[in-house]
Structure 1
Amino acid sequence: MSLFKSKSPLAVAILAALSTSAVAQTENIERVAPNAEKMEVIVVNADFSGVELEKVPSSVTVIDSQQLQDEGAQHFEDVLNSIANFNWSGGSSRPKYFQIRGVGEQEEYQGAPNSSVGFIVDDIDLSGIGMVSSMYDMQQVEVLRGPQGTQYGANALAGLIYLKSNDPTDVFEHGAQVSLGDDDLQTFSGFSSGPLSDSGKLLYRVSLEQHSQNGYRDNTYLEREDTNARDEFTARAKLRWYAAENVQLDLTLLHANFDNGYDAWTLDNNGFETITDKPGVDSQKTTGVGFKAIFSQFDTFELTSLTSYAQTDHHHNYDGDWANPDYWASKECPAYDENWAVIGTEPCVYDYTWDKQGDRKTISQEFRISSNDAGRIFNDSTDWLVGLYGMNLQEDNDLYSEYNGWPDEVLVSEYEATNYAIFGQTDTQFGDGYVFSAGLRLERRESEYSDSNGDEFSPSENMWGGHLAISKVLTDDHNAYFRIARGYKAGGFNMTLPPELSDKKEFDAETLYNYELGLKSTWLDGDVATNVAVFYMDRQNQQVSASQQDPDDQQRFILYTENAGSAKNYGAEADFNYYATENIQFYGSVGWLETEYGDYQYNDKYGNVIDLTGRDQAHAPKFTYSAGMSYVSDSGWFTNLNASGKSDFYYSDSNESKSDAYTIFNARIGYESQMWSAYLWGRNLFDEQYGVRGFYFGNEPDLDWADKQYVRYGDPRQLGITLDVKFM
C-alpha cells in the first residue's frame, strides 16, 4: 500500500521534509565539491588503461560514485535514465536488454544469445543477462557509445556498459546501510575493506546487499501484494596481491541471486492491479570469477592477463492469459461447429502459461601487451598495444508452454559459440596537440546449435572492425576529436520456423559504420565541464527482430531475425557538470536521435505486407534528457533534486504501438557527517505512469483475438528513508 494512501507517519515526515529546504550553516565537514584548482579527474576503466575522460576520442558517459550516492541509486535501473541516447526494454523484472543510439535487443526468447550491447561487471561478461547490477559499493558506471573492441577483448556493436565496483584499500574502512520504504522495501547493505597483511601487499574488499520489496502489483484475484516481488542478493569480494614490486594480481568474485516474481501485465492496462491465477517468476542466479594479472617489470611494455568465468541459471515464466479461469468463464466467446463456422457463443476457456529455464556458462581469456613510456615507437611518439582474446559461451535452454492443459511449445536446445580475436591500437602524438589513433580487430566466430525439434545449425564467419580517430588540443580547456569506427555483429539463424518462412532460416552479419565529431571542454576556470558529440551511423544489413502471431493458433508467436537493408541513425548527445560553488553542483545530459529503417517490409498475421521503410526504429526515442542539483551546507545538510525523461518511441519492429513521453522527478534530502548519514527520499514524486515495454497483438478470445496495445509500466511513486554509517 502506498505511503500516501496510508497516511503513515513515514509518509507525513517525508512529504514535510521534501517540501522544505535544509539550509543550515554551521561547522564545516569534508564533503565539498572540488574547487577550480582541484577539479575532479574522471578516469575511464573499461579499456583497463585508466585514460582520463577528456582524452578519450569517443562519446563516453561516466556516472561516478558521488552522483550514485547523491541520487541514492540502489540498482542500475535507478541511473540509466541519466544517460543520453540510452534506453531499455522492460520485458523482465529488472533491465537487462539495452539500446544505445537505437541499437540493441528488446528481448531474447530463443536460445542463441548474441548481444549488440556489451555489459561487463568488474571485467566479468554478463552481456544479455545484466539484471544483476546492484549499485551498492560501486565506484562508477561507464557507457561507451559506438563500436568498441580495439583496445580490450570483448566486441560490442552498439557500445559497452561497464560497471566497476570499489577496489580494496590499504587502510581499514567498513560501512553499513539500511533503507526502508513503502511497497515493503527493505535493503540491508554492508562492506569491509583493508589490508590482510602487515606489509600491506595483500588487500581485500567485501560487500553484501539484500534487497526486497513487493513489486508494486496488487493481485486482486489471489489477494496478494507480492506476486511481482523483488528478492535480490548480491555479494562481491576482491583480493589484491602485490606479489612483487612489478606484479599485481587481482581476484574478483561475484555472486548474485535475484529471485524475483513476474506479474507485470494487465488486460485493461490499468498498470498495477493484476488478476492472474499463475503469476510468473523472473530469476537469475549468477556466480562469476575474474582473475587479472599485471606484469610491469619489462623494460618497454606491460603484460596483462585477464581470465573470467560466469555461470548463470535464469528462469523466466509468466501467465500468458493475464487472467484466471473465473474471469474468462464470465466472458462470451464464439462457438464453432466442426467446420469452424460460428454457431453462437459460449463461456470462454483460456489458460496459457510460458516457461523458459536456461543455464549459461561463459569463459574468456585475454592477453594484452601495451607499451610503457620507454616502449614508445617512432621517435617516442607512439603508444601501442596488441591483444589476443578468446571466449566460449554455452547455453542450454528448456522451453515449455501450455494452452488449456495441453503442451503448446516444447523445445529443448543446446547452443555454443566460440570467438577468437586479435586486436591492436596505436596512439601517435604529433606536434601542435594532435593525436592520431588507429585500431584494428580481426575475429573468428564459430557456433553450433541443436534442439529437440530437429533444427541444427553450425555457422561460422570471419569479421573485422576498427577505428581511425584524430584529436586536437585546441587550448588548455578544449579538446576536439573526429572518429570513424567500424563494428560488426555476427549473423545467425532462426529455429522452429514454419515451412512458409523457410527462406528466413539464416540471416547475415550486421555492419555498422559510426562517424563522430566531439568536443570536450572546461569553462569558468574549471568549474564547468562539458562533453558534446554529433554522430552518424550507417547500419548495413541491419538485423531486425520480427514477430508474427499465428492466425490459426493465437497463442503461438513466430519469432525470427532478418536483415532489413541499410538503416540510418544520427543525432547528438551532450552532458555537463557545473560546480556553482563549493556547496552546489548542477549536472545534466541531453540526447537527440533520429533513426529510420532502410528497405524493410514484413507480413502481418493475415498475410498483409506492412512497409516500415523510413519509419523510426524501435526503442529509439528522439529525445532523452536529465538534470540534477546537489547542495550540501557547511553543517552537513544535504539536498538532491533530479529529473529525467524521454520522448515517445515505438515499442516494436513489428507494429505501430508507441509509448507516451514522460518525465520523472526524484528528491533526496538528509544530513551527512564523516561517520554517518541519514536521508529521506522520494522517486517518481508525481507518480508519473510511463511505459517501458509494449505489445500489440490479440490476447482476448472474447474479442475474437482482436489486436490491441498492451503496456507494462515502470515503477510508480516510492518514498523511503536511508541510514548509512561508516567505520575507520
Structure 2
Amino acid sequence: MNPFITSKSLIWSACLVAANVSYAAGGAKSTNMEEMVVSSQFRDSSLLDLASTVSVFDGATISARGANNIEQLLNLAPNVNFSAGASRGRFFQIRGIGERSQFIDPVSPSVGLIIDGMDFSGLGLAASTLDIAQVEVLRGPQGTVYGANALAGLISMTSQAPTTEPMVKVSAEVAEYNSQTLAVVASGPLSERVGYRVAVQKQQSDGYIENTYLGKDDVNNIDESVLRGKLNFAASDDLQMDFTFLYLDADNGYDAFSLTNNRETQSDQPGTDAQETFAASMITRWSGSELFSLETVLSLANSETEYGYDEDWVYVGFHPDEYSSVDNYQRDKDNISADVRFISTDASALFNGSSSWVVGVYLRQEDEDLERNASFTSQFETENAAVYGQLRSSLSDKVDLVSGLRFEKRDADYSDSLLVNSNKDEDLWGGNLTLEYRYAENKLVYGTISRGYKAGGVNGRIISAAATNPDISSDMYEFDTEHMINYELGMKGSWLDSRLQAQVAVFYQDRSEVQAKQSIFDPNDFSFDDFLVNAAGGKTTGVEVELNYLASERLRFFAAAGLLNAEFDGFSSQSHVDAKDDINGGALAPVSLDGREVAHAPKYQFFVGSEVSLMANLILRVELEGKDEFYFSNSHNQKSTAYELVNTRLTYIGSNWDVSLWGRNLTDEDYETRGFYFSNAFGNNPANGYAPETYTQLGEPRVIGVSASYTF
C-alpha cells in the first residue's frame, strides 16, 4: 500500500473523529470566533479574505502553546519544518524548500524572517516570542512583496502595541532540566499622542544533554536575555510613527551529538551557539493626501554570532594518535533596509474606480564578516534595489483580479583571506497573478500563479580548495539563480454561523536551477568541502488544510494537516555518500537523484487539538502533533523516523492572574531534528572500526512545568 495514501487517510480520520466528538459535545450557546487580520501584505486583510496560504498564531495561541521561540510554533503550520544542528532550530523549510545549515560560505535564505519590519533572515535565534502579538507564516513564493529572501515563503512576527491604560504584567515559568523564565511587560500612555511598551525576559535552562566525560548536565544550555521596546507617536491626525527596539543576548551551549545517538555526550570541548543583536525600526503611515497614503519602513540591525562545536564529538585519547578537532565560526552581520510604498485611495483608483494600486521602492544593504578558527576570514557585501507594484481590479461584484510585479537588482561582492575575490551582479524578477471569487459572504475561492527567485552566489571554499584538489573544476566555483513558479488553488471561509473556519489549498511548484548543497572529498587533509550546485529542477505537489471549530462556548477544536511530495528532477549528485559507494581517487561516483525526495520534506505533517472549559475559569488543552520521516540531507540516503507528540496544558484564569500546569512530549518520544552520515573510511567511531553510521540530534524529551502571570 502507498504510505503517502495511508498517511493521508490516518490524518483525515483523526480530524473527522475529533470534529465529530466536538460537535456532539456542543450544547451550550455558541459564539463567533475572533477574526484574524493579516498585516504582512500591502494592505491589512482578514485571514479568510486573503487569497494566499497563511497560518496566523496570535498571542493567545503563543501563550497556550507555551512557546518562547518560533521553533515551538512551526509544527502548527502545514508543510513547515526546521533544522536544528544548534541550540535551537535556526533554519526553516517551507514546502520542502530552505537551508539546513551555514558553515563557511554565505547563504541566501529561502525563507525570510521579519520581526517588526527588521530583517533577521538566517538568524533564527532572534525569533523570541516575548510580547509578540502575532506570527504569520506565509507559504509559497513572496516574489512581489518581499523578493529575494522569500522564495519558499516568509515568517513575519509583530510585537504587541502600547496600551491606552497603564499596565504591568509579570510572568514566570519553571520546568524540568532547571528551566526558569522570568518576564516583565510595562505599557501605557506617556501623553495623549505617545504610548510606550517595554518587555524584558530572562530564560535559562540546563538543557537535556548530559556530558558524561566532563560530568556536566548544562553543556547544551539555554541562556537568553531579550529586551523589546516600542513607542507609538501620533504626530498628527494624518501621521502615525511606530518605533521599535530589540536587544538579544543569547549565550547558549551546543553539545548535541554523541557516538551512541542518545542524550549522553563525551566531548571534551563543548561548543557554543551565541548571538548578540541590536536592532531598531521605524514604521510611518501618512494619510494626508486625498490620492494616496504613504507607508515607510526603515530598519537596521547588527548581529554578532558565534557557532562552534567539538568536531570529533569525543575527548583526546579516544581516537588513535590522540586526534582532536574543533570548529568555530564568528560572524558580524549588519543590514539596513528601507521600504517606501504609495497606496491608492478611492479618489485615485484607476479605470473608473475599479482598480486600486500599490507602488513601492525597496533598498537593502548587508555586510557579513566571518572569522573561522582565527585562521580564515571572509567578507560578503550585498546591495539590493527593487521597484514593485500591485493592481487589484474588480471584474464584478464577486470577482477580483490581482496582479503584481517586482524587479530587483542585486550586487554581491565576496573576498577572503585566501585571496578569493568574486563579484556577482544579477537582475531578478518575480510576481503573481491571482483570480478571486467570493461566491457567498465570508467564502472565497481563488487561483494564483506566482513566481519567486533566490539569488545565485559564489562557492568561496571550493575556489580556494581547488589549488590542492584536482577533482575541483571551475564550473563548481559559482551557482546560478534559482526560480520557482507556484500554481495554487484554494478555498477558505466560515460556516455553521461562523463557528467553523477553514482553509484548504492544493499547489504545484515547478523549480528550475534548484540550489542543492554538495560536498567533495579532499585527500590532502581527509575532509569534505561543501558547495552549492544547480540541480536541473524540482517538482513539488501538496495539500494544506487548517480548521478551527467552535463547538460551543466551552469546547473548541483545531487542526492542521499538510501533504507534500517534493522531488528532484533530473539531478545527479556528486556527493551521494552511502555504504555502497566507491571512492575513485578521492572523487565520489555520481548518483542520480532524479525523482528522489528533497531533504527535510516529510510527506505528511499534522496537528490536532482541543480546548475545553472544565469549569468557568479552568481550561484544558490537549494537542497531538506529528510528521513523517524525511531525508536528513541531499548527499546521503539516511532518514529520520516518523513521530507523534502529545502535549497538554491545564490553565486556571483569575481576575488578573493565571497559572498553568503543562507538559510537552508526554510519552517521552525520541525523535530526530538533524542527522549526519559517515560511510566507508569516513566513519567517526574507532570503537567499531569506523563503520558507516548515522548520527542524529534528538528533539526535546518529556518536559513538565508550571507557568504563571499577574497583571497589575
| TM-score (normalizing by structure 1) | 0.89
> Which residue, out of 660, 677, 684, partners 1:699?
684
Residues of 1 paired with 2:146 and 2:188: CA distance?
29
One-letter amino acid of the counterpart of residue 267, structure 2: T
- Number of the residue aligned with 2:700: 715
1:221-620 equivalences in 2 (<5 Å): 221-269=213-261, 271-328=262-319, 347-400=320-373, 410-497=375-462, 498-499=465-466, 500-502=471-473, 503-551=475-523, 553-554=525-526, 556-604=527-575, 606=583, 607-620=588-601
- Number of the residue aligned with 2:13: none
Instruction: Summarize deviations over 1:449-482 as a string: whole Å, max 9, x none.
Output: 0001111110001011000000101111421000
Residues of 2 paired with 1:210 and 1:34: CA distance?
41
Matched position secondary structure for 1:618: coil
Matched position secondary structure for 1:68: helix
Instruction: Summarize deviations over 1:522-549 as a string: whole Å, max 9, x none.
Output: 1111100000000000001111011234
CA contact (8 A) 1:603 1:609 kept: yes
**Per-residue deviation, 1:327:** 3.2
**Per-residue deviation, 1:63:** 1.1
Residues of 2 paired with 1:303 and 1:368: CA distance?
6
Matched position secondary structure for 1:327: coil
Aligned sequence identity (%): 38
Residues of 1 paired with 2:146 and 2:613: CA distance?
39
Matched position secondary structure for 2:418: coil
Instruction: Summarize deviations over 1:494-529 as a string: whole Å, max 9, x none.
Output: 012233223210111000000000000211111000
**Per-residue deviation, 1:350:** 1.6
CA contact (8 A) 1:151 1:425 kept: no
Matched position secondary structure for 2:449: strand
Matched position secondary structure for 2:493: strand
Matched position secondary structure for 1:69: helix
Residues of 2 paired with 1:154 and 1:50: CA distance?
22
Instruction: Summarize deviations over 1:209-259 as a string: whole Å, max 9, x none.
Output: 110001101111111111111001111100000000110011000011110
Segments of structure 1 that go 5 or more residues without pairing to the other structure are 1-31, 329-346, 402-409
Instruction: Summarize deviations over 1:84-123 as a string: whole Å, max 9, x none.
Output: 0001111111111000000110111124231110001111
Residues of 1 paired with 2:689 and 2:317: CA distance?
18
One-letter amino acid of the counterpart of residue 597, structure 1: F
- Number of the residue aligned with 2:640: 659
Residues of 2 paired with 1:114 and 1:48: CA distance?
24
Matched position secondary structure for 2:171: strand
1:4-15 equivalences in 2 (<5 Å): none
CA contact (8 A) 2:87 2:273 kept: yes
One-letter amino acid of the counterpart of residue 602, structure 2: P
Matched position secondary structure for 1:686: coil
Residues of 1 paired with 2:269 and 2:701: CA distance?
23
One-letter amino acid of the counterpart of residue 325, structure 1: V
1:22-37 equivalences in 2 (<5 Å): none
Residues of 2 paired with 1:103 and 1:443: CA distance?
21
- Number of the residue aligned with 1:406: none
One-letter amino acid of the counterpart of residue 295, structure 1: W
Matched position secondary structure for 2:668: coil
CA contact (8 A) 1:48 1:152 kept: no
Q: Which has the higher contact order (CA 8 A, sep 6+)?
A: 1
Over 3 Å counting, the alpha-carbon distance change for 1:354 and 1:35 in structure 2 is farther
Matched position secondary structure for 2:63: helix
CA contact (8 A) 2:453 2:484 kept: yes
**Per-residue deviation, 1:170:** 1.5
**Per-residue deviation, 1:634:** 5.0
One-letter amino acid of the counterpart of residue 302, structure 1: S
- Number of the residue aligned with 2:710: 725
Residues of 2 paired with 1:466 and 1:110: CA distance?
32
Residues of 2 paired with 1:396 and 1:488: CA distance?
25
Residues of 1 paired with 2:668 and 2:614: CA distance?
29
Matched position secondary structure for 1:496: helix
Which shifted more, 67-76 or 365-374? 67-76
| Root mean square deviation of aligned Cα | 1.8
Over 3 Å counting, the alpha-carbon distance change for 1:175 and 1:322 in structure 2 is same
Residues of 2 paired with 1:552 and 1:602: CA distance?
22
**Per-residue deviation, 1:550:** 3.5
Instruction: Summarize deviations over 1:304-350 as a string: whole Å, max 9, x none.
Output: 1110000000000100110112433xxxxxxxxxxxxxxxxxx4422
Over 3 Å counting, the alpha-carbon distance change for 1:424 and 1:48 in structure 2 is closer
One-letter amino acid of the counterpart of residue 177, structure 1: S
| TM-score (normalizing by structure 2) | 0.91
Question: How many pairs are equivalent?
Answer: 666
CA contact (8 A) 1:643 1:666 kept: yes
Residues of 1 paired with 2:251 and 2:70: CA distance?
17
CA contact (8 A) 2:28 2:552 kept: no
Over 3 Å counting, the alpha-carbon distance change for 1:91 and 1:208 in structure 2 is same
Residues of 2 paired with 1:608 and 1:702: CA distance?
28
CA contact (8 A) 1:153 1:387 kept: no
- Number of the residue aligned with 1:407: none
Segments of structure 2 that go 5 or more residues without pairing to the other structure are 1-25, 578-582
